[in-house]
A and B are shown apart, each in its own frame.
Chain A
C-alpha cells in the first residue's frame, strides 16, 4: 500500500466513525421526539377546561377530569417541600461552607448515595415509618417519601450555587468585620438565591413526576380528599391506573395527564438551565 492510499484509508475510516457518531445522536434524539409527539398528539384532544376542574367520571361514563389528582399532587409535593427544602438548603449551605472536613465529605457522599436510591425503596421506607404506625395509607406518607427524594437534589444545587458565588464576596464581607454567619446569610445566599430557587423548582418537578413511592403510601383516591391522614389521588398514579384500564376513554385521559405532566416538567427543566447558565462567568 502506498503512503497516500494508506492516508486515504485512515481518512475514510475517520469519516465513517464521525458519521456513526452522528447516527448515534439521531438514534438518541428519536425517542425524545417520538415521546413528545405521541404525548402531544394523543393528549391534546382531551385537554379542556373540564379535565382540570371535574372529578373522574364513573366507569362507562364519558368525560370527567382529574381535579382531585391535580390537587392531590399539589398537596403531596407541598408536604415533600416542607420537609425537603429546609433540610436540603441548610445541608447545602453547610457543605458549601465546609469544603474539606471529613464529616462534610461523608455527607456529600451520602447525598449522592441518597440520590441514587431507587424511589420505590424510598416508598417502602415511608411505608414502614408512617403507614405501619398509622395503620392506613395517607397523604402524609406519600409526602414524606417525596420529601426524602427531594433532599439530595436540593442539597446538591444549593451547594453548587453557593460555590458559584465568587470568593471575593465572602472576603469583602469578612473584611468589613461582618461575622461569618451574617456574611453567609445576607451576602452570599442572596447572590445564589436565584439558582437555589430554580434548583428547588427542579426538585419539585421531579417529585411531581414520581409514581413508585406513592403506590403504597398515598395509594390513590377516586374521590375528593384533602385530608392528610387519608389516601390521596395524584396525577402520576392516575396515569398508572388509567393506562392499565381496558377502556379507550381512560387511556386517552392517561395521555392527557401525561401531557400536562410533561409540559410542567420540561418547562421547569428548561427554566432551570436558563437560570443557571453562565452565572458569574468570567
Chain B
C-alpha cells in the first residue's frame, strides 16, 4: 500500500478523501500526501519533540529527586541560613545570596562596559575594524570556564590580594563592601571573573539591537544638527528594551556559571556584604559537595538547589528571549 501511495501520490491528491485525526503526529495527510513526505516530516517532528521532552524530563526528575527536602523543609529551604549536613539541616539562603550578589555586582560592572563596546562597534567603528573586533569580543565567550578559573587562581587572585584589595580597604574601607582582610579568594574575584564572562553576550546582543535601529533615525538626528553622541543617545533610547533583554541573558549566564566561580570564590557559606569575604554560590556548592553527598537527604538538598537554579535560569532566559524577539520583530531584523 505504501508503495502505491508513493508512486501516484500527486494524482491521488484530489481523489482521496482526507481523514482528519488530531494527534501530535500529522496523520491526517496519510492518504493524500506523498508517503515519503509523511515519513520524513514525522521523523523530524519526532526529534524536535525529543528536544521538548528533554526539558520536561529534566524538570520532572529534579522535582522527583528533591521531594525529600521539599517535604522536610518546605519553603524554609529558601529562607533558612543554616547549611549543616552533619546535623541534617539544609537552608539554601547563603547560596542564593551568593549567586545573586556575585551576578549583580558583575552586571553592574559589565553593563556600562558592554554598552560602551556595543556603541563603538555599532556606531563609531570603521567598517573594516568592526568584524575583527567583534570576533575578539566573541572569542571571550568561547574560552572554557575552567580556563577562566585557572587564570583567576594564578593571576587575578594574587593581584587582588596584593594590590587591589589592600588599596580598596585603605581608601574605601568605611563602606560595608570593602571590609575585612584581603584574602584574594572571595566575592570580588568571582564577580570580576563573571564580569568578563558576561561581557560578550551583553555586548553582541546590544550591538545587534543597535544596528537594527533604522538608519533613517540617525540621518534624521544628524540632519537636525545633532552631534555624534546625541545621535548615539537616540539609538540607545530606541534599543532600551533590547538592552534590557541582553542584560537579562547576561544575568542568566552569570547565575549558572560554575567552574570559574567555584575556583575563585573561596567556598565558605555565609552572608556578607563585603566583597572581600569568601562566599559560595548555588552552582559552586553543587560542584563542591555533590560527589561527596553521602546521605539521601543531603543529595536531595543539592538537587533542590539545582532545581532552583534551573527555574531561575529558565525564567530569566524566557523573559529575555521574549524581549529580544519582540524588539527585533519590530525592526524586522534577524538577531540571534
**Which residues of A are in contact with B by a Cβ distance under 8 Å?**
10-11, 13-14, 16-18, 20-25, 27-29, 31-32, 34-35, 38-39, 42, 86-87, 90-91, 93-95, 97, 103-104, 106-107, 109-125, 127-129, 148, 151-152, 155-156, 160, 177, 179-182, 184-185, 205-206, 208-212, 215-216, 219, 236, 239-240, 243-244, 251, 254-255, 258, 261-262, 265-266, 269-270, 273
Contact = CB atoms under 8 A, between A and B. Distances in A.
Given A114-B55, A117-B58, A18 B149 contact: no
Interface in B75-122: 112-117, 119-121
A28 B137 contact: yes
Contacts of A31: 140, 196
B50 A91 contact: yes
A90 B48 contact: yes
B1 interface: no
The binding surface of chain A is classed by DSSP as: helix
A28 to B, nearest CB: 5
Contact of A124 (B9, B62, B117, B228): B62
Indicate the size class of the contact surface on chain B. 35 or more
B22 interface: no
B223 interface: no
A215 B287 contact: yes
A171 B121 CA distance: 38
B263 A13 contact: no
A121 B58 CA distance: 9
Interface of B: 9-10, 24, 34, 36-37, 39-41, 43-52, 54-55, 57-58, 61-62, 65, 112-117, 119-121, 124, 133, 135-140, 142-151, 153-155, 196, 199, 203, 227-230, 232, 249, 252-253, 255-259, 263, 283, 286-287, 290-291, 302-303, 306, 309-310, 313-314, 316-318, 321, 336
Given A28-B140, A97-B44, A118 B313 contact: yes
Contacts of A155: 51
A151 B51 contact: yes
Nearest to A236: B146
Contact of B255 (A18, A118, A182): A118
B199 A94 contact: no
Contact of A243 (B143, B150, B227): B150
A13 B227 contact: yes
A151 B54 contact: yes
